[in-house]
Amino acid sequence: METYNNIVLERLPKHLKRYVVAQRYERYTALDQALWRYVMRQNYSFLKDVAYYPYIPGLKKAGLSIATIPNLQDMNDSLKLIGWGAVTVDGFIPPAAFMEFQAHRVLVIAADIRQLEHIEYTPAPDIIHESSGHAPIIGEPDYATYLQYFGEVGTKALSSGKDFELYEAIRHLSILKEHATTTAAELAEAEKNLQIIQDNMGEPSEMALLSRLHWWTVEYGLIGDLHNPKIYGAGLLSSIGESASCMKEDVPKLAYGLNAIEYPYDITKPQPQLFVTPDFEHLKLVLDKFADTMAFRVGGKQSLDKAIDCKAVCTVEYSSGLQVSGVFKLANADKNLSYIQTQGPTALAVAGKQLEGHGIIYHSEGFGSPVGHLRGADRNLADFDEATLIQYGIVEGQQCSLNFASGIIVSGIVQKIVRQFGKIVLISFIGCEVYRSDREEVYFKPEWGTYDMAVGAEIVSVFAGAADKDAYDALEEQLDQDLSSIPTETEDVKLVNCHAAIRNLRDNGFDQKVWLEIFSQLGPENADHWLGLVELFEIARANDGAELTTKAEQRLLEFIILYPNLKKLIDDGLRVAKEEDLNNH
């Protein structure tokens, strides 16, 4: 993985590096560059008055410019000065991974760029949204702190099985909308499938609720006075359509608070309302209130139940500090939390570091252990000193029987006692049987081998993913992966070549003959020619070509008559071209 001489990226854990792909800047065509330039000029024209953070200084601080698609090396050269980094990924990545990148102070940027037909807004992640939306405000310290903290909280959020279905459906639909060869039937089928899933989600999970807070702040947040707010959300900063429409009075502006979790969102549509925070510190306070309700802070049976519903790898942490990572299943029929049980590969860790010999290969078929106090004990087993261990017969090489207050009995020969940070976290037995006193539930039999018993009176935390992700996943770092879809690869070659000639005309000196030659190729038979004509209008105007300026404008007016849906884009392009030359800023 390319780290761009940025220590922030060098420190990324191995399991995150597998999502990173090479940017391969040479794949962006002149049409892509023209699309970027158009959007950024429009953004500056509007956002200079309504964006919270000074737009141009923010762009420069993040290594971005209005003129060209950002290069990851330039971005990292700038971002590392404020303790951040940036990587490119191939479109959507799982929400948990996105959050974890954020926690490591790394901006995740989709390498692709939107199609011309989606120039105003794209439901799929693209380099315009991720870089021009998120990056310019990273220079604001309070916001950067909030963004990192959100990532830390989000990394621990529990999802549900339905969340994964929804994520896959949204991802599929967004990709179809950005793919030039998608048929109407394919799109209709994907939209129908998404609607069915959305209508049957059931109770929202932690991640679903947290995603709403992320959407109404990081993506679509407003800041300041409720009646005259400024934009800071990346979704608005990168959408030349919605950044303007959202500020209209008919879009309700609500005071931001924890009640924002009650408002679901649709990634494919303009937002029906927006939330306004008085400052960035308030965002952190609201997030903290929500975090107090999450399983990683609450613990106990209700949190374990969430992990079971998740049907994915989660971690439960005992009060001793022992962390058990795996896919959890229902272990006991009673209402109290007395036993935990995983199925499939499981790992044990303390303080996020896997215990030696207790990885997913050793615990390949699952793990189970009691939770609670020993009957009659005046202290937790984790805190037993040597004398108390002897009193209870917990001596290596000797037979012992442990009776838990819950009615669970662990009986066998003590093989090993494991301590970490002054606490007993694990006791291993051989010839062991684990059962309830009434024998209605048997958890372990002697013939199954070694029994490793977790030690801890309570489950104090439950969170998503493995405690030691690198050790659990055992993944090799993947370098220079190919992008699954290469932007503009299927674009009309002639159109791309026209834009290359236009860029050359702008960068290397005006030539009227060349201008006319390009102009002759951009006729009204192709709606996509409008952007090239807007650029020719800019160039003619900048070079005092009154006759050429008129020719380009008249042809653009023809386009508006033929393609009414292009009116706003063309009008905005002409308006910005008539404003001051942004290259001087």
Percent of the chain with pLDDT over 70: 94
The dihedrals phi and psi of 87, each to the nearest 5 degrees, come to -135, 155
Task: Please tell me the distance from the alpha carbon of residue 221 to that of residue 232, in angstroms, as a whole number.
Answer: 6
Tokens of 290: 């929500």
Q: Is the pLDDT of residue 482 over 50?
A: no
Please report the pLDDT score of residue 580 as a whole number.
60
- Which residues in 278-300 are b (16+ Cβ under 10 Å) and which e? eebebbbebbeebbeebbbbbbb
Q: What is the mean pLDDT of residues 329-354?
A: 91
For 47-52, what is the mean pLDDT?
Answer: 82
* Number of residues assigned to the chain: 585
Where b means 16+ CB within 10 Å and e means fewer, 403-439 reads: bbebbbbbbbbbbebbebeebbbbbbbeebbbbbeee
CA 414 – CA 436 distance, rounded (Å) = 19
pLDDT at 137: 87
Q: Contact, 412 vs 402, CB < 8 A?
A: no
Contact 290, 323 (CB under 8 A): no
Tokens encoding 182: 């998608």
Average confidence score pLDDT of the chain: 89
Residues belonging to the binding site are: 129, 134, 219
DSSP-derived 3-state class of residue 452: strand
Query: Which of 43, 11, 31, 1 has the alpha carbon at shortest distance from 499?
Result: 31
Greatest alpha-carbon pair distance for the chain in Å reads: 101
Of the listed ranges 49-63, 252-266, 362-376, the least confidently predicted one is 49-63
Which tops the pLDDT comparison, 103 or 578? 103
Q: Above 50 in pLDDT, residue 585?
A: no
Question: Which among 566, 584, 560, 572 is positioned nearest to 240, based on CA atoms?
Answer: 572
Note the pLDDT tens digit of each residue in 117-169.
888 776 677 898 888 888 888 888 999 999 999 999 999 999 887 877 877 88
The reported pLDDT for the residue numbered 583 is 46
Exposure class string for 55-81: b at 16+ Cβ within 10 A, else e: bbebbebbbbbbebbbbbbbbbebbbe
Positions at the binding site for Fe cation: 129, 134, 219
Cβ burial 351-364 (10 Å sphere, 16+ → b, else e): eeebbeebbbebbe
HSE, side-chain direction, 13 A CA sphere, residue 412: 23
Question: What is the per-residue pLDDT for 123?
Answer: 65
Question: pLDDT at position 526, please?
Answer: 93
Report pLDDT digits (tens) over 163-222.
778 778 877 877 777 676 788 888 888 888 888 887 887 788 999 899 999 999 999 999
Q: How far is CA 88 from CA 13, 62, 129, 359, 553, in A?
A: 16, 15, 13, 31, 38
- Does residue 487 carry a pLDDT above 60? no
Could you give the count of Cα atoms lying within 13 Å of 577 in the half-sphere of its Cβ? Answer: 24
Dump the DSSP string for 319-336.
Answer: TTSEEEEEEEE---SSSS
Tell me what percent of the residues of the chain surpass a pLDDT of 90: 66
Q: What is the mean pLDDT of residues 1-14?
A: 95
Residue 373 corresponds to which tokens in the numbers above?
Answer: 């106090």
Other beta carbons within 10 Å of 203? 9
Amino acid 117: pLDDT: 84
* Residues 243-277: tens digit of each pLDDT: 777 888 889 999 999 999 999 887 767 889 999 99
Binning pLDDT at 50, 70 and 90, where does residue 29 land? very high
The matching CATH number, chosen from 2.60.40.10, 3.90.1150.50, 1.10.800.10, 3.40.50.1100, for 7-160+205-285 is 1.10.800.10
pLDDT band, very low/low/confident/very high, at 329 (cuts 50, 70, 90): very high
The arithmetic mean of pLDDT across residues 385-404, rounded, is: 96
pTM of the model: 0.86
Which neighbouring-strand residues pair with 318?
459
Token duo for residue 424: 């007993």
Helices and strands: H and E segment counts in the chain = 23, 18
Q: Is the pLDDT at 95 greater than 90, yes or no?
A: no
